Amino acid sequence: MTIREIFYRACVRLRDAGIETPVLDAGVLLAAVLHTDRAGLIIAGERTVSEEAQGAYTRALERRLGGECVAYIVGRKEFWGLDFTVTPDVLVPRPDTETLVEAALSHRATHRISGANGEILDLCTGSGSVAIALKHERPTSRVAASDISPAALAVARQNALRLLGDAEAIHLIESDLFNKIDGQFDLITANPPYVPSALIASLAPEVRGEPLLALDGGNDGLDLIRRIVSGAKPHLKPGGVLLMEADSGEMDAITRLLLAEGYEQPRLYYDAAGKARVIGTWQANE
């Protein structure tokens, strides 16, 4: 069969199985098997696919039909224009989380992280996507990233080596939020688990296959966020910025938490769909 034929049949199989993005998923998986990109699939559409490659593609499709996400099947995911390694030990980086990077780079206090003395901490770092994206944009700043999962930190270390050229470019810390964090920072970012526990079962199968530790935010989704809000102040320099990703429906509750802790009036940052995705505030006395 040709590339065009095998691709078409895969699209039909995925569509009939109720996969929401059959064309995209079929293309990404086929491009990975053939070691090309989606443009290459189009250009070489009449090329015959070897039996070995067809077998590999069939196995990849079966995994997708079984509910595994495309990123885990191909072992990578693009985020902020960078090609991250991902495994089932980490949450798959999502375009919505780029809002967190954009907020960090656009905030009025970011002039402090542009220089050699700028210090950034990324909590719940997972694959290291946010921390590495910020280090990529602010290479002279000092970036630390923490996670409670040693397996996630191993993935982050791989990504730092491959994308920044140095496994030590990011200071990785195994820590339950601030438990093993020393010092103060100009910027603290976090994409903590914020899905209410009762909603986990209703998530798409491929999302339920991601680490529960990175999804489950407790009864109301705010367990980790409460701890971040209460624990961040001693680790923020005067005027330091705290930015957290959360669900748009949680922003009012988080605003109340922040104001009760004495932070400045929070600001919301919106994702490409126009939904509030990130909430930011800063330590007083700038």
Residue with tokens 């910020």: 134
Q: What's the pLDDT at 116?
A: 54
pLDDT at 117: 62
DSSP 111-169: GGGSSTT-EEEEES-TTTHHHHHHHHHSTTSEEEEEES-HHHHHHHHHHHHHHHS-TTS
Q: Which tens digit of pLDDT belongs to each residue from 196-231? A: 999 999 999 999 999 999 999 999 999 999 999 999
Q: How many helices and strands (H and E) does the chain possess? A: 11, 9
Same domain membership, residue 55 and residue 174: no
User: Based on the domain organization, do 146 and 203 belong to the same domain?
Assistant: yes
Percentage of residues in the chain having pLDDT higher than 70: 95
Residue 72 lies in a domain: no
On whether the pTM is more than 0.85, the answer is: yes
- pLDDT per position as a tens digit, 149-164: 999 999 999 999 999 9
The domain boundary residue, chosen from 37, 66, 95: 66
Sites in the chain below the pLDDT cut of 70: 107-117, 284-286
Domain count, the chain: 2
Chain segment 216-225, per-residue pLDDT in tens: 999 999 999 9
Quick check: is 111 in a domain?
yes
Looking at the fold, whether 62 and 91 belong to one and the same domain comes out as: no
Provide the domain limits for residue 135.
Answer: 87-282
In a domain, 45, yes or no: yes
Q: Which residue do the tokens 């705290």 mark?
A: 242
